[in-house]
Amino acid sequence: MAKLTRSRFLRQMLLGVLSCVCVVTFAACGANQGGSPTATGGEGTTGAETTTLRVATEPAFPPFESQGSGGELEGFDIDLMNAIGEAAGFTVQFQSLPFDGIIPALQSGTVDAAISAMTITAERAQTVDFSRPYFKAGLAIAVQESDTEVTSFDDLQNKRIAVQIGTTGAAEAAKIEGAQIRTFDSAPLALQELANGNVDAVINDAPVTLYAVQSGNIGGVKVIGQLITEEFYGIAIPKGSPNVEAINQGLATILEDGTYNELHQKWFGEDAPDLPETAPI
């Protein structure tokens, strides 16, 4: 079972020294720590010790996660996970993985958590645990701008549809009678296929498709107004991981203190809507 990864030896030594100082100045130190919960990994951690979570993400899903020009990770999920770590007392070490490799990595314990605009589904909840929901999304259909035929989900029968492998969009497309499904490793590749006229539609998370269209990353494509699902994103962790508590606690803190709303403003240009405490799955 995955646990919080300890910082390197030297760092621990340094923190050990700090802990000693902490014991000496106990009262002051205690006051300082009051606002920052400690991420505990099952093994007891002292107050001043920093733990690190290895967090997987698939960085081709803007505005949730992508790579800047210098290769650095950026996006709502990246900022959110760092803010959760700050509030809960752990640091985050991101690891980029293909989306369909994330759940296997959680199961084998090579990562401690994943934040990747991952929808909380009943099927996934059989193999991994989820934090409380952190974002409300849903699937949307994208078609070529000139398309007048496809105006709803029912119009997708017998059409050529591009999806990203292992996603809820792929699962939804699989339900459509007569559809020819083309599967891609990332959402931008599926959308490019539509822009190139090689498929009739893409089924993908609405905020991501809208962002691609609005930011000009993809041309000649429009989004059909009606969402075909309502979905909630959660941070995934290995089944039974004790880290769920620290993550949920950090999330609750930043939802309450306005940090979550600031990040929502930063990436979506509007205030965050209310979130349920559990996902309806």
Q: Decide if residue 164 touches ligand GLN (CB under 6 A).
A: yes
First to last CA, the chain: 25
Which residues within the stretch 209-238 sit at the binding site for ligand GLN (CB under 6 A)?
none
Return the closest-CA partner of residue 53 out of 39, 73, 66: 39
The β-bridge partners of 160 are 180
Q: Measured from the CB of residue 203, what is the shortest distance to ligand GLN in angstroms?
A: 10
CB closer to ligand GLN out of 58 and 193: 58
Cβ atoms 228, 141 nearer than 8 A: yes
d(CA 168, CA 203): 9
The β-bridge partners of 184 are 164
Whole-angstrom CA distances from 9 to 80, 85, 94 are 28, 21, 20
Count residues binding ligand GLN (CB under 6 A): 12
Q: Decide if residue 190 touches ligand GLN (CB under 6 A).
A: no
Q: Decide if residue 77 touches ligand GLN (CB under 6 A).
A: no
Neighbours of 89 (CB within 10 A): 22
Candidate list 38, 50, 51, 116; residue touching ligand GLN; CB under 6 A: 116
d(CA 241, CA 106): 10
Candidate list 76, 99, 135, 184; residue touching ligand GLN; CB under 6 A: 99
d(CA 263, CA 227): 24
Q: Measured from the CB of residue 16, what is the shortest distance to ligand GLN in angstroms?
A: 39
d(CA 190, CA 197): 11
CB closer to ligand GLN out of 22 and 203: 203
Q: Decide if residue 172 touches ligand GLN (CB under 6 A).
A: no
Q: Which window, 1-9, 112-120, 147-155, 216-224, contacts ligand GLN (CB under 6 A)?
A: 112-120
Q: Which window, 9-17, 18-26, 117-125, 145-153, contacts ligand GLN (CB under 6 A)?
A: 117-125
Candidate list 156, 179, 187, 236; residue touching ligand GLN; CB under 6 A: 187
d(CA 147, CA 153): 14
Instruction: Record the tokens describing residue 146, joined without a space.
Output: 């000139």
Q: Decide if residue 167 touches ligand GLN (CB under 6 A).
A: yes
Candidate list 49, 58, 79, 147; residue touching ligand GLN; CB under 6 A: 58
Q: Decide if residue 118 touches ligand GLN (CB under 6 A).
A: yes
Q: Decide if residue 162 touches ligand GLN (CB under 6 A).
A: no
Q: Which window, 9-17, 111-119, 175-183, 268-276, contacts ligand GLN (CB under 6 A)?
A: 111-119
Cβ atoms 60, 92 nearer than 8 A: no
**Burial (CB count within 10 angstroms: exposed 0-12, middle 13-18, buried 19+), residue 279:** buried
Q: Which residues bind ligand GLN (CB under 6 A)?
A: 58, 61, 99, 116-119, 164, 167-168, 187, 205
